[in-house]
Amino acid sequence: MQNTNDIILKAINKSYQKGDNTVVVHDDFNLTIKSGEFVALMGPSGLGKSTLLHLMGGLDQPTQGEVLIGGQRIDNLPQKKLTQWRAENIGFIFQSHHLLPVLTAQGNVELPLALTPLNRKQRKQHASMALQLVSMSERADHYPKELSGGQEQRVAIARAIVSDPKILLCDEPTGNLDRKTADEILALLAKLNSDSGKTIVMVTHDHKAAEYASRVINLESYILSQNNSLSKNEELLQNIEPEVDDISIGASS
């Protein structure tokens, strides 16, 4: 139990104080994502999908509630430990790749390994392996400006997985790509999920993208169903069978 990588958001409240106004983004929000799942998180803009992703990755802290990953609370970790934890456990993939233009694909992928005790040669090896996983080995020496959008996103994925994190958090990873390229990227993510056992949480607006996931959460109806359920907290904490958590679009448990 403790060694798995379940992501548990427990009674999350996230709000922003703007002068006298309090903007509540999430209130008493609960969600469990099992280790090894590929979850697509959908829903209208502004509902707090990115916010959830940031909370799971320790980029943001909840106003109230707990974020547990693999049994460990990360919402109250001191900044230094959190940074280190993130380097070891989380890979982020964003809509824009944010690759460094002055580094080659290889250099970009090697960058996160500067955070590990690996030596130069090992770093090279790991980066090459990651590039191979995303089928970009031939382009290792190319600079981002010499790559297509899809290729850049592949490199960004390689960068996210190079330190072998168990969890990948993707915020609209195919938002900038055409259908064909998007499908390639999604297939790649599905492969990383099935072959390498990565737990993936992907925010997307694309219904076709969601088809690649093992579970789709429509945030709007999920929140509704949560509010209708009276004993939701206990349910979430005690019932760990997939059927209970598997809330499909529009349905309530």
Partner 1 sequence: MSNSFEHSLSYIEQFFINVKQAQALTVINFKSFPQRFAASLVSILSIGCVAAVILSVLAMTEGMMKTLAQSGLDNTVLIMRAGAVSELQSVMFPAEMNILANNSKVIRDAEGQAQVSAEMFVNAEVNFTDTSGQQVSKSLALRGISATTMKFRPNFKLVSGQLFTTGVRQLLIGQAIARRMPELSVGENITLGGAQWQISGIFSDDNSVFESELWADIGMVQSDYQRGNTIQSVRLALNNIDDLVSLEKEWQDDPRLNIRVITEKQFFAEQGESLTRLIRWLGFPVALVMALGAMVAALNTMYAAIASRSKEIATHKAIGFSPFAISTSILCEAVLIALVGGVSGILPLYLVFDGWTAATQNANSLSQMMFNFDINLKLIAQSMALALLIGLLGGLLPAFKAMRLSVTEALRD
Ligand X SMILES: Nc1ncnc2c1ncn2[C@@H]1O[C@H](COP(=O)(O)OP(=O)(O)OP(=O)(O)O)[C@@H](O)[C@H]1O
Binding site for partner 1 (CB under 8 A): 2-3, 5, 50-51, 54, 57, 59-60, 69-72, 79-81, 83-90, 92, 94, 96, 98, 100-103, 111-112, 114-115, 159, 166, 171
Q: Order of strands across the sheet with 90-93?
A: 90-93, 167-171, 199-203, 38-42, 215-218
Question: Which CB, 15 or 221, lies closer to partner 1?
Answer: 15
Handedness of CA 111, 114, 119, 125 (dihedral sign): negative
Q: CA angle at residue 104 from 102 to 108, to 5 degrees?
A: 85
For 97, half-sphere exposure in the C-beta direction (CA atoms, 13 angstrom radius) is: 24
Question: Which CB, 116 or 225, lies closer to ligand X?
Answer: 225
For residue 46, the surrounding DSSP H or E stretch is none
Which of 1, 20, 23, 238 forms a contact with ligand X (CB under 6 A)? 23
Question: Is residue 48 a contact point for ligand X (CB under 6 A)?
Answer: yes
Q: Which two tokens stand for residue 73?
A: 């609370």
Question: Which CB, 14 or 216, lies closer to partner 1?
Answer: 14
Question: Which CB, 47 or 185, lies closer to ligand X?
Answer: 47
Handedness of CA 146, 147, 149, 155 (dihedral sign): negative
CB of 21 to Mg ion, least distance (A): 21
Which of ligand X, Mg ion, partner 1, none does residue 73 bind to, with CB < 5 to 8 Å depending on kind? Answer: none
CA distance 200 to 196: 11
Q: Order of strands across the sheet with 64-69?
A: 21-33, 7-18, 64-69, 72-73
Question: Which CB, 18 or 80, lies closer to ligand X?
Answer: 18
Beta strands 64-69 and 38-42, pairing class:
unpaired
Residue with tokens 């056992």: 197
For 3, half-sphere exposure in the C-beta direction (CA atoms, 13 angstrom radius) is: 0
Which of ligand X, Mg ion, partner 1, none does residue 46 bind to, with CB < 5 to 8 Å depending on kind? Answer: ligand X
Question: Is residue 96 a contact point for ligand X (CB under 6 A)?
Answer: no
**Window 35 to 74, contacts with Mg ion (CB under 5 A):** 50
Question: Is residue 26 a contact point for ligand X (CB under 6 A)?
Answer: no
Residues whose CB falls within 8 Å of the CB of residue 21, separated by 6 or more in sequence, listed in order: none
Question: Is residue 95 a contact point for ligand X (CB under 6 A)?
Answer: no
Question: Is residue 55 a contact point for ligand X (CB under 6 A)?
Answer: no
Which of ligand X, Mg ion, partner 1, none does residue 87 bind to, with CB < 5 to 8 Å depending on kind? Answer: partner 1
Residue numbers at the binding site for Mg ion (CB under 5 A): 50
Residue numbers at the binding site for ligand X (CB under 6 A): 16, 18, 23, 25, 45-51
